[in-house]
Amino acid sequence: MPNLLYKNASFHYSDQGNGPVLLLLHGFLEDLSMWDDIVNSFKQTHRVICLDLLGHGKTENLGYIHTMEAQAQLIHFLLDHLDISQCSIVGHSMGGYIALAFTELFPEMVQGICLMNSTALADTEEKKHNRDRGINAVKQNHKIFIRLAIPNLFSEENRSVFTSEIKSITQSALKMSQQGIIAALEGMKVRKDQSHLLGKKEFPILMIIGRKDPALDYDSLIDQVNKYALNHVIFDDGHMSHIENISALKMTLSNWYPILKNVSP
């Protein structure tokens, strides 16, 4: 998997398969490896692009704060380097926030968005306060923060079911720098409300919701679905649909993506 330089920072990405372009954006404390199962399912028929976002995986930091717009600019740089003019985007959690920021900046490049365990709403004041608490905890000991945060992304009953997966994700996240974690938390805290983008019908939008998602307010997600008449799928588990509901997720994406199967990149 190659690396590129962007603003003197090295970033890491993968580019597999041929066909319509599917861009996969990971979430907070994750890296591009979270998509391995999805990539293997789609690379026979699609060109699948993944990257480690700023401060995550093997990608370096750019500063104290990584805004969603800064992440979107990195993605634009990558797509331009790969000579890709259009793509469909699946964004998990923070990756969904970044997908919306990218859509606002570069609408002509977006063919479809799947918000997976994500929301178009900005942080509430309570959520911003919790981000600040998280930042303080990271400054005290970022490794303890990671070890506590990862299990809490799963539904309560699944924390004992997916112990090996939780261990693996935690081990990968422990390689992140303290500054990378803080920069992401700061960026998510100040992100804009992007719900106005959900009302645009230039391309299909799919929302994947976990009924027992500990990280997102279920009722607010349903409100978005109803207000904007969004296509959506509800799983009965937590925030980590690519693990807790992987078979159903692959089927859901396969059923959604053929809307664009005849569109050339």
Region 238-261: mean pLDDT is 86
- Whether residue 203 is contained in a domain is answered as yes
Residue 113 within a domain: yes
Q: Note whether residue 212 is domain-resident.
A: yes
Give the number of domains in the chain.
1
Q: Does 234 fall in a domain? A: yes
Under 8 Å between Cβ of 149 and 129 = no
Question: Would you say 54 and 11 are in contact if contact means Cβ atoms under 8 Å apart?
Answer: yes
Q: Provide mean pLDDT across the span 181-205.
A: 94
Question: Residue 138 is part of a domain; what is its CATH number?
Answer: 3.40.50.1820
Average pLDDT over every residue of 231-240 = 97
pLDDT for the residue numbered 16: 97
| Of 249 and 200, more confident | 249
The model's pTM = 0.96
Residue 261 has pLDDT above 50, yes or no: no
The mean pLDDT value for 246-256 works out to 93
Does residue 184 form part of some domain? Answer: yes
Three state DSSP letters for 204-226: CEEEEEECCCCCCCHHHHHHHHH
38 pLDDT higher than 50: yes
Query: For position 246, what pLDDT does the model report?
Result: 97
Q: Percentage of the chain with pLDDT > 70? A: 96
Q: What mean pLDDT value characterizes the chain?
A: 95
Tokens encoding 229:
């008449």
Q: Which structure tokens are listed for 238?
A: 């937590």
In a domain, 265, yes or no: no
Gyration radius (Cα) of the chain, Å:
17
Residue 92 pLDDT > 50: yes
Q: pLDDT tens-digit profile of 101-112? A: 999 999 999 999
The dihedral formed by the CA atoms of 137, 142, 144 and 150, expressed in degrees to the nearest 10: 100
79 in a structural domain: yes
For 132-171, how does the pLDDT look when each residue is reduced to its tens digit (9 = 90+)?
Answer: 999 999 999 999 999 999 999 999 999 999 999 999 999 9
Q: What is the largest CA-CA distance in the chain?
A: 51
Quote the domain boundaries for residue 204. 3-260
Query: Which two tokens mark 4?
Result: 């590129």
Residue 215 lies inside a defined structural domain of this protein: yes
Quote the pLDDT of residue 262: 41
Instruction: Give the E-state strand segments of 52-124 in sequence order.
Output: 87-92, 110-116
Average pLDDT over residues 190-214: 94
